[in-house]
Amino acid sequence: MQINGFLRDLGVSDSQEAVPRARRHPLLLALVVLVSAECALLTTATVYLIIELLVDTPSSLATALALTVLAALAAVFLLVVVVNILRGRAWTRGATITWQVLQIAVAIGCFQGLFARPDIGWALLLPSIAVVVLLFTKPVTAATAIRG
């Protein structure tokens, strides 16, 4: 049956009990939680941008659409990264570092300028630093050493 194959892929046995494949290190789980939170917040921002497109008239429709599409693509990118971190793919370390560097750049921009928002800057900077530190820990590099 198709449903049984789907459940088996999810790791659920015939007795409906979850089959633990391998215990994940707490540092890997912390990385997954942080990147998942970033993905959830970016998804929320994308939904907000879509709602704003529907209820308000932007000064530049092309710019508003481009920003919304880029936010949606970034949210999908982060979702793919989170799923593949759990699968132990090595390429996720580079993808995660790339996202964190971009987020750090935005955070630095939040600290300066005419419309500076240090609160948003800190909210972006601190998780990014934590993720970068977690990526270089031995348990995380060992867990994401599978090539593919």
Q: Is residue 17 part of a domain?
A: no
Q: What is the pLDDT of residue 113?
A: 87
What residues contact residue 49 under an 8 Å CB cut-off, 6+ apart?
64, 67, 68, 71
Q: Is residue 34 part of a domain?
A: yes
Q: Is residue 148 part of a domain?
A: no
Q: Please give the model's pTM, rounded to 2 decimal places.
A: 0.80
| Residue-number span of the structural domain to which 105 is assigned | 24-143
Give the angle subtended at the CA of 144 by the CAs of 139 and 147, to the nearest 5°.
145
Q: Is residue 116 part of a domain?
A: yes
Q: Is residue 7 part of a domain?
A: no
Q: What tens digit of pLDDT does each residue of 24-77 get? A: 899 999 999 999 999 999 999 999 999 999 999 999 999 999 999 999 999 999
Q: Is residue 10 part of a domain?
A: no
143 or 13, greater pLDDT: 143
Closest CA to 133 of 23, 27, 25: 27
Q: Is residue 117 part of a domain?
A: yes
What is the domain count for the chain?
A: 1
Q: What tens digit of pLDDT does each residue of 95-132 get? A: 999 999 999 999 999 999 889 999 999 999 999 999 99
Q: Is residue 99 part of a domain?
A: yes
Closest CA to 73 of 102, 108, 110: 102
